[in-house]
Amino acid sequence: MNPGETVPTTEDTGAAPFAPEAFGKYYLIDRIAMGGMAEIFRAKSFGHGGFENLVVIKRILAHLSVNDQFVRMFMDEAKVSAVLQAANIVRIYDFGKIRENYFIAMECVEGKDVKLLLRKLAERRKPLPREFAVYIAMEAAKGLDYAHKRTAINGQPLNIVHRDVSPSNILVSYTGEVKVADFGIVKAANCAEDTGAGMLKGKFEYMSPEQANGADLDRRSDIFALGIILHEMLTGRRLFKTDSEIKTLERVKRADVDPPSATNPTVPARLDEIVSKALDREPDRRYQDARELHADLLDFLYPASPDLTQQSLSHWMRELFADEMETERSRTESGSAIARQMHESQPDTDLEPDFDGGTRTPTQAAPLLPPKPQSRLPIVVAVSLIGVLALTLAGVIGWNAMHPGQVQTVTVATEVKPTTGGISLKITPDSASVLLDGKPAGSGATVSLKEIPPGDHVVSVAAPGFVTHEEKVTVEAGDRVRLQINLDAEHVNVPTPPSQNNQVHTGNTPPPQNVQAPPTVKAVAQFTSSPSGADVFVDGRLVGKTPVSWDGGSPGNRYGVEYRLAGYDSAKFNASLPDSGGNTPFDRNLSEKAQGTGKVNINVSGNQWGDIYIDGNKVGTTPKFGYELPAGRYSVRILNKESGLDQTKAVVISAGQTQTLAFDGK
């Protein structure tokens, strides 16, 4: 067991009331969990002018403080976590030793871990909504990608591998945030503690095959573990867990995994592909970094936006854990009140003489660099280093306010903004090939173009026997353009036999006299559908109902056509009229709309609101989550006369799925 097996946000609501106690500069106000090696507490710290801060304290049990190996592992967690300053990672604020206990002070995430989340759903016999499973995995991948690619001050990679990515270490807050926690057995270049050959650390059922075999690990091992969690969130069942650790390890080593749809038939094929790639037994066939996995999950989530999905998840979490939230709030408030009285009764009490935390005046500290091979930092130096790093995370302003006259130099790690964009294409037929700005870029039914410079680009899609499609696309940095392209079959013209007027005359035969000019070429499009009676729109203009002949086009030109019929999905295609003119048939089979109902989430950004009109009928005001509608296409309008907000968007509701609409309130 490692100290991370007790998780911040795990509530033991059945325990006896906890008596708050002073712990150095902190006041422990509630015990969250207790394991065989560490305790987890909610804690408060107080500053000048009524300043209060709620944190989580992980404290090693006193008898383990004499175990040098365990202490080094605990220090490694603090060192690595202190340099990870990302929204999707639980932040470390402080590290030290008070009396006989080493401790870490970290960000308090008010919510639940995925393990407790799935357990709660199992008790209620409810599945985790698919869009939430995808979103949680997507955000966890973002946090892991940041950790995997973190560098030291000199730019040298730290080569961080979590090695314990499991449901208990992925936290979901009540506000819909997702954070990766517990780098307690992390593998990194700056860690003093090393894992010997063949030594296994981590939870067996969430190991990668190479981890189960005791091999060297890289970031792809964490990706495999996240793939396990995504599989379990989609199916509600454990993937590798058995009644024996030996059997579990053997199953992990084989990595013989059925796709999620084998257990949950509602999982679409594309999501099966993503999970299967993350869980490939061979690391070289997996996603090579977590950013690739994040991109595919984001693409699958489209057109839902991450921001609106987060809001929906927050609303859902607050409903699911309403009772627990009330209990946690009550315990925190009562514990805080007692801690506040304790603090106010001894406002001038100095810290205990044996306090060895991050509040002492920092001396000059070496920058965080990967150590030379076989070198080890003395514990005292390491503790001093962590004290400085923890204070950096807590914020320079707050530190200076509490320590006047002391100056601290800070190096801030900033995330690089994206400089390129991408294009995702879904193409019919699947034999098509794609050119980007005249250069080959891929082929098949789905093509993803990445690392494209911002600006205008020309996309060409061609296939044998089909009319080539060419389109200008504007790409913006950090954005992904999505195109659905259906190529039209080429129209085959039958050669006209030569007549008297168009025969080729050779030799001494004189050409015919009084040859009249050929008649004007005319093109007629014959629009038909099954069933008939569909409205036909050409370039957005209604020209009649099927079957209908349309002669408003010119030979050699191309037109956008759409068939619309109540109860059926619309059919969109491009109609190309041949240069030779004549009658050209365009027939389409219309598919019946999916039966059943789906849901839609509707919100307005920028602290705005508006009345919601669906197909002209007012249904309420924003925000609205989980509004149920029969499957079909709808027009959604947001109206706020006072602010001048008036926007309309179309949405297609599919049976059993939830769509999201985000309106710009600026």
Catalytic residue numbers read 164
- CA distance between the termini of the chain: 51
d(CA 478, CA 298): 12
φ and ψ at residue 619, rounded to 5 degrees: -120, 5
| Residues β-bridged to residue 485 | 427
d(CA 56, CA 6): 12
d(CA 314, CA 174): 5
Listed in sequence order, the residues at least 6 apart from 390 whose beta carbon sits closer than 8 Å to its beta carbon are 78, 82, 92, 93, 94, 95, 105, 358
d(CA 465, CA 400): 72
Q: Which of 364, 69, 311 has its CA nearest to residue 174?
A: 311
Radius of gyration of the chain (CA): 32
Retrieve residue 284's tokens. 């070289």
- Are the C-beta atoms of residues 150 and 414 closer than 8 Å to each other? no
In which residue are the tokens 């936290």 written? 171
d(CA 365, CA 304): 46
d(CA 229, CA 238): 9
Q: Which amino acid would we find at residue 564? A: R
Listed in sequence order, the residues at least 6 apart from 325 whose beta carbon sits closer than 8 Å to its beta carbon are 174, 318
Question: Computed from CA positions of residues 95, 152, 146, 200, in that sequence, does the dihedral angle turn out positive or negative?
Answer: negative
Listed in sequence order, the residues at least 6 apart from 372 whose beta carbon sits closer than 8 Å to its beta carbon are none
Q: What is the dihedral of CA 161, 217, 4, 295, to 10 degrees?
A: 50
Q: Which amino acid would we find at residue 649? A: K
In which residue are the tokens 């270049």 written? 189
Element (H, E) at 473: strand 469-475
Retrieve residue 135's tokens. 């979103």
Q: How many CB atoms lie within 10 A of CB 451?
A: 9
- Are the C-beta atoms of residues 599 and 304 closer than 8 Å to each other? no
